[in-house]
Structure 1
Amino acid sequence: MAKRSIIAQSIGLLLLAACTTPDSLKDFDSTTWKNDRFGCDNQRAELVDDFELIRKEMYGKKEYVVRNVLGKPDSEELMERSQRIYFYYIEPGAQCQDRRTRMSEANRVQVRINSLGKVSEITYYKPVTETAKPE
């Protein structure tokens, strides 16, 4: 009996450790991001530079890591072959007046989750273009 208990506790600890946020993503202010649902308080816009620092590290991470770091998506789209796209608004827009309507034209982060449940792409709806370098 004691051996089964030790095995069960070990498995429990492994599962708990597997659901945590990686250290490389812990410096991101997840709480502020999560509290600004639909980007209506404009707090996510202030975190875009910080998000950009962790964006590349999120590639290949499991879906639960995305939810731990960014929270529940503001909207999601189911694609073919069990792929999904999570949408996180980063600026206020029509979604702030009526959250039940279709997608607003406000800028947003789009996180593509592949059929294996891993992040395969992270883009912006309206990417900010860099200013042209003088010749």
Structure 2
Amino acid sequence: MSRSLFSGLAAGIGLLLSGCGHALPSIPGFEAAAWRADPYACRNQRAALLPPLLAARAQLYEARADDVNALLGPPDEEELQAQTEKIYCYYLVAGPQCGPRHPRSSAPRLRLHFGPLGTVTEVQADPILAADSQ
């Protein structure tokens, strides 16, 4: 295969893959900067920021991981599933994960599931009990 044919083929595949998913628009009422400034929910601000994000849940579907990272920051935890699927986890309330080395916690989390194409396929949020948000 000639070099120019190979580079053209590689560029075409790159364009095809980059066309999967969509960029995230701004979400009305959601304070992305405040969410990103509260890693592991140790400042206990994320629970209050969650309602507008969940109200716009439909906009999250088919978003790419890079766009989710731009909106929410890097995940507090990332779980790798079979094949190329993964789950981003964001804690919603302060808990044991705020300790040294951020141990895994059973505190409520927002989970974004990514399918094999690298786009969001499912959005889940654990219930936040009144005692958790104090």
TM class by shorter chain equals 0.7 to 0.9
- Residue 86 (structure 2) aligned to one of 84, 87, 93: 84
The residue that corresponds to 2:3 in the other structure is none
Question: How well do the aligned residues superpose, as a CA RMSD in angstroms?
Answer: 2.2
TM-score normalized with structure 1 length? 0.72
Q: 1:49 and 1:98, CA in 2 relative to 1: closer, same or farther beyond 3 A?
A: same
1:113-124 equivalences under 5 Å are: 113-124=114-125
SS in 1 for 2:122: strand
Contact 1:42 1:91 in 2 (8 A): yes
SS in 2 for 1:25: coil
Equivalent pairs: percent with the same residue?
A: 33
User: Unaligned regions of 5+ residues in structure 1, if any?
Assistant: 1-17, 130-135
Measure, in 2, the Cα distance between the counterparts of 1:44 and 1:127. Answer: 13
Measure, in 1, the Cα distance between the counterparts of 2:118 and 2:100. Answer: 30
Contact 2:114 2:121 in 1 (8 A): yes
Contact 1:21 1:69 in 2 (8 A): no
Measure, in 1, the Cα distance between the counterparts of 2:121 and 2:101. Answer: 27
TM-score normalized with structure 2 length? 0.72
- Spell out structure 1 runs of 4+ moving beyond 4 A: none
Measure, in 1, the Cα distance between the counterparts of 2:56 and 2:100. Answer: 30
Q: Which protein is richer in helix relative to its size? A: 1
User: Unaligned regions of 5+ residues in structure 2, if any?
Assistant: 1-18, 130-134
Measure, in 2, the Cα distance between the counterparts of 1:49 and 1:27. Answer: 9
1:60 equivalenced with 2:62 (yes/no):
yes
